[in-house]
A and B are shown apart, each in its own frame.
Chain A
Amino acid sequence: MDRTITINRRTLFQGTGAVALLAALAACGDSSGSTGSSGSGKKFDTLTVALPSSLTNLYPGKEAGIVNYFVATLVLEGLVAPDSNGALAPALAKSWKQATPTTYVYELREDATFSDGSPVTAEDIVYSVNLAKDAKVAPNTAYYWANVKSAAKTGERQVTITLSSPDVAFAWGPTAANAFWVTAERFVKASGGVAQLGTTKGLVTGTGPYKVTSFTPDSGVELEATGSWWGGDVAIKKVVIKFIPEESTRILARESGDIDLAVNISISQAPQWKKAGSTTVLFAPNRSYVGIDFNTAVAPFDDVHVRRAIAYAADRSGFVKSLLDGHGQPATALTTPEQIVSLYSDSEAKEKLALLDLPFDMAKAKAELAASKVPNGFKTTVGISSDATEINLAFQALAESLKELGIDLEIKEMPVEQWYGTIGSPKYGLAYMQYFNTTGDPAELPNWFLGEGNPASYKNAQMSALLAKATSETDESARVDQLVEAQRIALDEVAYLPLWWGEAAYAIDSSLTIADLGSYTLLSPWTQRIKSRG
């Protein structure tokens, strides 16, 4: 009602200049009080969430950003799903086993249905595997299925997936948190075929607790509880997801009560969020890795002394303390602790991954550089993605230290897409990686960074042998040991310099909280974990 009044009043004042118009609006504001916000924070059956970037497609095979997964895991499910520790738990499969080193047998649960109420069949699973496996349909995840020879219905409610060669990491493949989303051929056909899958026209139909009711790229997605989810009733009946790229606008939206939860807010803005009134900021590790890659095939980074000099000049603890405000940890390995906490306690995990012992020490840095082929220093350039504020600051600090050694490090800011091109490029002997692990598999980053064609161009026969062994090792702790040893070899030679393991920050209405908040929380139907406080 007061909306139309506002507009009518405004028209009265038109034509008297901008100042008068603003004054008129202010007057309207005074008379109608603060009735503009919907007060959605109070109604717990609807949750309004702000994402920092837009989705262009709802099928993560086609677009696999971190926020894509947050939305997808509410609508689509895989055969298995991570629990809060990152161990795999039942989803559409009630049980599964690795029958031989190359075959995985999944028993489907009987009570799972799609959002239209129709049951999930073994044929639907096989169809969905073939979708995710097709590089044309799912360019983002097809590589995960490259080693899969076939998926077949081997019983009324049984599906067997056969690999070409043993690979323990495959266990994470059929999760919606990584590379598998179950839908049915009839839904895909009815909404325009695979080309339209996940687009505004095609949307996605799955088996999760919610169905998509609307999707506008760069604006938002709306989800509604299906009421037929096998996992039971969900308290939050409607999830309204808004894409708000500008952080200041997101903070204002929280302040006005228009959003209840903002995910992946920037850590440097956390104080502003806390001031937004009735807002709590929560932090949790997010399995992210930030580190330097040295291209060991490019001079002068082919010299281990140069790499070590740079490592000693990097104040890794200082970065975490001052740039991340303590919300993170100095990294000592490629694998993050969260990827092995299903096997070890937190402290054991950190101890196991303590592979790098190069504390900030300028005297040692100078000594290392003096022993190198370029004792008087050199000039080099690093490309930094323009959205990586903390990383940019860290490199500026590093450049200051390096100046003392005579190394001139030029920082070149560039769009994120251009930064991809610096990874492993011979033009950038020194590059950085910010990697968000999708899975809880400790081999995820090592398989790339230590494998063939790695960005450091680093080769070591013993390391490769350990990595190969870990591929088929079914004893999980033995496998972690092999992966740790392989990393130790590369890190001893400083092919990589891990800088920090990051945390994600979430701003939430103070009347709510997220139970068991950890790095896996938003990767399985997570609205269940949003609880009313007190």
Chain B
Amino acid sequence: MPPVLRFVGARLIATVILLLALSLVVFTLLYLAPGDPARNLLGPRNPSPEALAAIRAQYHLDDSYIVQYLHWLGGALHLDFGTSVRSGGSVTSLLGSRAGVTGELALMAFVLTVVIGIPAGFWAAWRAGGLSDRLLGGTAIVGVGAPSFAVGMVLLYVFGVKLGVFPVFGLGEGFVDRIWHLTLPAITLAFASGALVFKLTRTAVVRELGSDYVTFARSRGLSELAIARLVLRNAAIPIVTSLGLVFAFFFGGTLLVEVTFALPGLGSLLASSVTFKDIPVVQAITLLTAAVIALTALAVDVATWAIDPRVRGARR
């Protein structure tokens, strides 16, 4: 078997074990958390014992801890993630309708991060110490430090209300309208991550530019473009790793942005489900997020493997 397949296979098996362990941990934490889903469903009103009993029976809330977990696991192995206690609908369809929004938002923010963060980092490193470097560096500090809901509010106020070029909330219909609606949220998300990627790229490129091989290449009279290509390849590993981190962060970290822009994504669903103790929904979202993070990490490793011959050599 080619080593790359063996490597990927082993990682996939490890991922499955990780997800299984994670599901048990999340289930246990929620099980132990204060509150009663049946009571939550009834809200602040007189809870009749009959109604409570009926709900508890319907969602198997009276079963023992381990029976409840096995019940959930049995369904999950058949890709049936159960019924949401809060909405009464199936978790799979609930997630299906939400994951799309979060995925599109994450993807858009990711693209913005890549097409802005990396070139800007490269540009700044090439002109280290110059005016554009300092301007970009200053912006990046704001980007890393500013809380996303505050950035979102400022963008909403300027571009949604004052200039009226972007919608203030919601999703829109059709492809173009959807992208238009997701632009401000994606910029909000990408502001912090773009700044992070910018700083990492700049650091990596500055380091490479000070290397002997660059001095040597320059002394041999290579064109700046050829040098840039050399530098980019060598600086790629920390950049790719940071991009993996950023994408994983997006998938779990869209909560504040989703709430600010009233987007029906996974983040807002997770927040309300955790406090409600809607265990089937929380389980499904955490596992989905964990799977995305694990697969992203795997993709980063494969990419590193492809970029760097030294890593390839070591694995062989």
Contacts and interface: CB of A to CB of B under 8 A. Distances in A.
Contact of B87 (A10, A36, A217): A217
A25 interface: yes
Nearest to B47: A143
Contacts of B263: 218-219
A278 interface: no
A195 interface: yes
B50 A135 contact: yes
Nearest to A414: B34
A433 B119 CA distance: 57
Contact of A418 (B35, B43, B116, B177): B35
Interface residues of A, number: 76
B29 interface: no
B306 interface: no
Interface stretch (B6-14, B158-166, B227-235, B288-296): B158-166
A26 B264 CA distance: 27
B199 interface: no
Contacts of B44: 419-420, 423, 433-435
B116 A253 contact: no
A26 B50 CA distance: 60
B194 A139 contact: no
Interface string B165-201: 1111111000011011001000100010011001000
Contacts of A62: 87-88
Contacts of A448: 45-46
Nearest to A198: B88
A398 interface: no
A33 interface: yes
A21 B54 contact: no
B1 interface: no
Interface in B282-300: none
B42 A139 contact: yes
Nearest to A135: B54
Contacts of B268: 54, 218, 245
Contacts of A100: none
Contacts of A256: 160-161, 164, 168
Interface in A19-64: 19, 21, 25-26, 28-30, 32-37, 54, 56-57, 62-64
A13 to B, nearest CB: 10
B262 A244 contact: yes
Given A15-B115, A21-B116, A246-B260, A258 B88 contact: no
B15 interface: no
Highest count of chain A CB atoms <10 Å: which of B98, B156, B261: B156
B62 to A, nearest CB: 15
Interface in A89-143: 135-136, 139-140, 142-143
A84 interface: no
Contacts of A200: 89, 93, 97
A16 B120 contact: yes
B40 interface: yes
A475 interface: no
A37 B194 CA distance: 29
Nearest to B256: A246
Contact of A252 (B156, B163, B195): B156
Interface stretch (B18-26, B213-221, B237-245, B269-277): B269-277
A65 interface: yes
B143 interface: yes
A14 interface: yes
Given A64-B43, A146-B50, A417 B165 contact: no
B34 A418 contact: yes
Interface stretch (A1-9, A164-172, A370-378): A1-9
B71 to A, nearest CB: 18
B interface, size bucket: 35 or more
A347 interface: no
A199 B88 contact: yes
B54 A139 contact: yes
A534 interface: no
Interface in B137-168: 139-140, 143, 149, 153, 156-168
Contacts of A219: 170-171, 262-264
B58 interface: yes
B63 interface: no
A139 B39 contact: no
B36 interface: yes
Contact of B97 (A30, A195, A216, A423): A216
B40 A136 contact: no
B136 interface: yes
Contacts of A7: 176, 179-180, 183
A196 B262 CA distance: 25
A415 B277 CA distance: 11
Contacts of A57: 87-89
A6 B171 contact: no
B58 A56 contact: no
A372 B62 CA distance: 43
A333 B195 CA distance: 57
A17 interface: yes
B20 to A, nearest CB: 28
A246 to B, nearest CB: 5
Highest count of chain A CB atoms <10 Å: which of B83, B160, B177, B198: B160
B259 interface: yes
A243 interface: yes
A287 B125 CA distance: 64
Contacts of A235: none
A149 interface: no
Nearest to B121: A17
B262 A18 contact: no
Contacts of A29: 158-159, 162-165
Contacts of A218: 98, 262-265, 268-269
A246 B143 contact: no
Contact of B165 (A6, A19, A252, A438): A6
A268 interface: no
B88 A195 contact: yes
Nearest to A448: B46
A56 B116 contact: no
A269 interface: no
A532 B176 CA distance: 34
A220 interface: yes
A201 interface: yes
B242 to A, nearest CB: 17
Contacts of A139: 38, 41-42, 51, 54-55, 58
B160 A36 contact: yes
Contacts of B54: 135-136, 139, 142
B161 A417 contact: no
Contacts of A36: 160, 163-167
Contacts of B5: none
8 contacts: A16-B119, A35-B164, A201-B89, A217-B94, A218-B264, A246-B260, A248-B153, A253-B169
Given A33-B164, A433-B44, 17 more contacts: A3-B176, A3-B177, A6-B165, A19-B139, A21-B116, A28-B165, A29-B165, A135-B54, A142-B50, A199-B87, A200-B93, A217-B264, A249-B156, A256-B164, A417-B35, A420-B43, A421-B39
Interface of B: 34-36, 38-46, 48, 50-51, 54-55, 58, 83-84, 86-89, 93-94, 97-98, 112, 115-116, 119-120, 123, 135-136, 139-140, 143, 149, 153, 156-171, 176-177, 179-180, 183, 187, 191, 194-195, 198, 259-265, 268-269, 272, 275-277
Top 5 nearest A-B pairs (CB, nearest first) are: A29-B163, A135-B54, A34-B164, A218-B264, A36-B164
